[in-house]
Structure 1
Amino acid sequence: MTPRRAWAACLCAFLSACTTVGPEYRVPDQAAVREAAANGPLQGAQGPDVAIAPVPDDWWRLYDDERLDRLVTKALAANPDIRAAGANLRRAQALLHEVEAENLPQGSIGAGVSRAQLSGESYLQQAQPPVFNLGDVGLGASYLIDFFGKLERADEAALAGAQASEAALDMVRVAVAAQTVRAYVQGCAAAHQLHAATQQLAVQQRTLDASRRLLAAGRAEPAEAAREHARTEALRAALPPLQAARSAARYRLALWLGQAPAALPEAEVACAAQPTLRAPLPVGDGAALLRRRPDVRQAERELAAATARIGVATADLYPSIRIGASAGLTGVLSHLGSGPTARWSLGPLLSWSWPTNGVRHRIHGLEAAADAALARFDGVVLRALQETETALSAYTRELERHAALHAASEHAAQAARQQRRLWQAGRVSCLAHLDAERDLAAAQAALAASAGQVAARQVDLFLALGGGWQTARKLAAVPASGNEHLD
């Protein structure tokens, strides 16, 4: 066998023994996301006001409020947090392309001219060479052979990192959509409660006027009139906080829209009552929840990146081989281009760091980082389930409270109508009639406050369900950097 064939045989044997080192990634079997309890029906999804149906991408359209639709669309297009998260995604994608470029051949070109005096001793000559002009020009190319999958694992880590950044952007979109709806709903609820409180104050003012007339006629005690005056002022004191809450909601809405407070006129977001859902709130099940929540997807992609980095470090235990070639001209400047100045080279370059004790410790550190990423992944999954179940329970219980308050308001209205007829017939006093009107106003104020709480709990539940980023991604036209991995 000739030496050339012997080298070729050794190279083929070496190549056949090579493999991609490091663990192959898959979602671990012991991960919380694979548990049957995490993928089953939600415990609180049995009530009549919720439906086990897919959560729509644009869930805010369930309110059937065109003004709210416009506000959410504006927020998803102009919110500063979304812009910042989008910039982070572009940075991660640029890093991915940078890592991918390492798989391509690397080229170089160089040229130089110098006037030099060489040392005669360096050439074992006693005579000093003359001063002359030197020239050098050349091209080079090299390619790193990924025998042990270092570049492949680096690509996997960079791709998973870009996908995690994309999921982080989606999570910001979820938050922006939900907080925009929340600010709008809070402003509407404050306006509704302010109207109910104003009506309550008007009834109380009538009661106070009646007490003063009775006191002037000698038919009431001064203490009774003072007590009604105190009740009136207490109700009057409840108005400024509601007015402040309405303004604060508008200012928060301007923030989510990426505008200064003065740039959002009050008339543009004014509403008399909070929007209501036109159908039972869809919640889906646990499996759909975990596929939909961007923070779960982000944590899973971070686990994939941490696993791939183990392979990158493991490849440092093995030799690195780069095949290179170069050609050029080097010599006296006046002779450059002649045959004696030509040069070329072709061959592999083998490098192997030794000892590798430091590399092994780095691998152990990255394995610990992957274990931490798995723990964070499990924590995100469990937190997603906990937040959803908590929000679902709070929503259904507030609905029960609202139904009871609605019944109380209906009975108070019935009592007020009966007292009004009796008063008009002269069978009860004016104060008795006004007491019934005051009870009705108080019941309506409590009902208005509960309606605001119901709307707030709806937004909490939609936020926990993690919907909204799909439509937002279509609006922003951000290209996807990879496939889903939790299907």
Structure 2
Amino acid sequence: MKLFSYLRLGFMGLTGAALMGCTTLGPDYQEPEPTWLAEWQPELYGQRGSAGEGSNADLSDWWFRFDDPALNTLIQQVLEQNLNLQVAGLSVLEARARLGGVEALRFPQSQQLGASAAYIRQRRSDGLLPASEDSFGSYDTGLSVGWELDFWGRFARGIESADAAFMASIANQRDLQVLLVAQTADIYYAYRTTQLRIEIARKNAAIQKRSFEITQQLFDSGQESELDLQQARTQYLATLATIPDLERSRVQLRNALAVLLARPPAPISELQAEVKALPAMEPLALTGIPAKLVLRRPDVRASAWQAGAQSAQIGVAKADLYPALSLFGSFGWSGDSLGVTRDGLTFAAGPAISWNIFDYGRIRSNVRVQDARLQQALAAFDGTVLQAAREIDDAAVAVIKTAEAGAVLSESRSAAERALELANRRYREGYADFQRVLDAQRSLFSQAEKELVNEGAHISAVIMLYKALGGGWQSQSLEDMIPPNVRETMRGRVNWGEQLEAEVPVVLDDAQTGESSQ
């Protein structure tokens, strides 16, 4: 018993000394701050507003500004049904499971648990004496447990890396929300724009058909030349020919939206209603510091977390350069049925050190590999921030320039309407030939379509600006990310415990207000 007490005291003392001497290798990650970002103060082309004019939190559901119930319904359905978003949600679940596996390494691990038994029966005969039989059995069982102390921070860095990867997966899922919401809105209004273009083409074709019929009557009565007839016919047929291509585009846009909704190609009830005009967008008043508008984007957050995950891998690799200190213990019991040996109980405990001394530079090479990967991740972060700034600036200038073009095109369309009115009057009064009427009709059709296409481009630019600002994502639980039927299927295969209902960290939500969460 004294020996056992001494071993226990020694074991505890060694454990305490090891824990007191623990350190963590590798760099402590600090999120990089691009030097140019602090001085980047664009005016966003007159769209910057005062803090009292709005809140950046409105970006989370910016599509409500369009006041379109059909769009609201479609976006909600996309967020619930889109298959790529489900994959992103499952990636979050995978990253959580990986994190749980890495965290388990901090605790003692069972290295071996085994038991064996044997029963032997034999028959002996020497040819003279009667045959005899005998039998015997043997058995043994044992358990060994090892606990590698995190002396150099290998496990701490591993947990840090897995946790950062988990947070990156959440940011990636939110970035996909941003993309899908913008795609849904953009496709929806492209579909509406195409609907209105078809309507304009049909109205103009009806007008031109009427002109063609009048010209036909006049030609038949000898009052018009065949040239006027053929020109009227050509213009009418040319306008008519634009409709099939527009109808093809409309169906393709509908099918693109169906894919986002995880539906096969088919009519979508939310698109059945006719529209008379595209929504008129009020001037945007963006609030907040441009640098923070960039840093809050989910893809920027994901890139920062990915760099953090890689930074911790340097510490994991460096730990292999030093000896690993473990504490082990084993327990065993063995015996047999013959009584030749006594049933035995064995116990052993103590420290163990392993050190890969002759690695021939392999470990140091791995450390260098991890450091090179970190620098790649940091460069990728800088590139992501630059791309984000570019997208914001591009979208902002597109918003303001399409608005300026819209004002000019509205006046141009009004002028074309007046020109057609005058051409018709002068033609009826005999002061102009029919070619002037055809030219005026063609001009009005062209200007009306240009104005409509520009309105669609303006709405698309507004959508892209919201996307560039990182708006459109919602905090979701795993229950929101993974549909109920998928969760039930997974439960039927594997015991997931409570992980399918666990809350997702909301630390990234600080980005909604433009504050960095790291």
* TM-score of the aligned structures, taking structure 2 as reference length: 0.80
Change (3 A) 1:276 1:106: farther
Change (3 A) 1:9 1:60: closer
Residue 67 of structure 1: aligned partner:
70
Give the deviation of 1:261 after TM superposition. Answer: 1.3
Q: Secondary structure at the match of 1:445?
A: helix
1:21-420 paired onto structure 2 within 5 Å: 21-28=25-32, 31-32=33-34, 35-37=37-39, 40-47=40-47, 54=56, 55-107=58-110, 109-114=113-118, 132-262=136-266, 264-265=268-269, 268=272, 271-277=275-281, 280=284, 282=286, 284-333=288-337, 341-356=344-359, 357-416=361-420
Change (3 A) 1:269 1:285: farther
- Which shows bigger deviation, 266-275 or 212-221? 266-275
Equivalent position amino acid for 1:221 in 2:
S
Give the deviation of 1:134 after TM superposition. Answer: 2.3
Q: Secondary structure at the match of 1:345?
A: strand
Aligned pairs, how many? Answer: 467
Q: Secondary structure at the match of 1:175?
A: helix
- Which shows bigger deviation, 102-111 or 187-196? 102-111
Deviations 1:208-259 (A, max 9, x none): 2333334334443322322222111111111111111111111111110010
Equivalent position amino acid for 1:81 in 2:
N
Equivalent-residue separation in structure 2 for 1:49 and 1:202 (angstroms): 46
CA contact (8 A) 1:196 1:445 kept: yes
Residue 453 of structure 2: aligned partner:
449
Deviations 1:132-179 (A, max 9, x none): 532112343332211110000000111111111122211221111111
Equivalent position amino acid for 1:251 in 2:
N
Change (3 A) 1:26 1:88: same
Equivalent-residue separation in structure 2 for 1:32 and 1:149 (angstroms): 29
Equivalent-residue separation in structure 2 for 1:235 and 1:321 (angstroms): 83
Q: Secondary structure at the match of 2:159?
A: helix
Change (3 A) 1:228 1:263: closer
Change (3 A) 1:475 1:7: closer
- Which shows bigger deviation, 406-415 or 61-70? 406-415
Equivalent-residue separation in structure 2 for 1:95 and 1:48 (angstroms): 43
Give the deviation of 1:81 after TM superposition. Answer: 0.5
CA contact (8 A) 2:178 2:471 kept: yes
Deviations 1:262-305 (A, max 9, x none): 26347546544434435636475423322331111111111111
% identity of equivalent residues: 28
1:20 aligns with 2:44: no
- Which shows bigger deviation, 149-158 or 85-94? 85-94
CA contact (8 A) 1:15 1:147 kept: yes
Give the deviation of 1:320 after TM superposition. Answer: 1.1
- Which shows bigger deviation, 449-458 or 378-387? 449-458
List gaps (5 residues or longer) in structure 2. Answer: 1-5, 122-133, 483-502
Give the deviation of 1:93 after TM superposition. Answer: 1.2
What is the Cα-based RMSD across aligned positions, in Å? Answer: 3.4
Q: Secondary structure at the match of 1:480?
A: coil
CA contact (8 A) 2:19 2:149 kept: no
Change (3 A) 1:347 1:7: closer
Residue 504 of structure 2: aligned partner:
480
Change (3 A) 1:268 1:224: closer
List gaps (5 residues or longer) in structure 1. Answer: 118-129
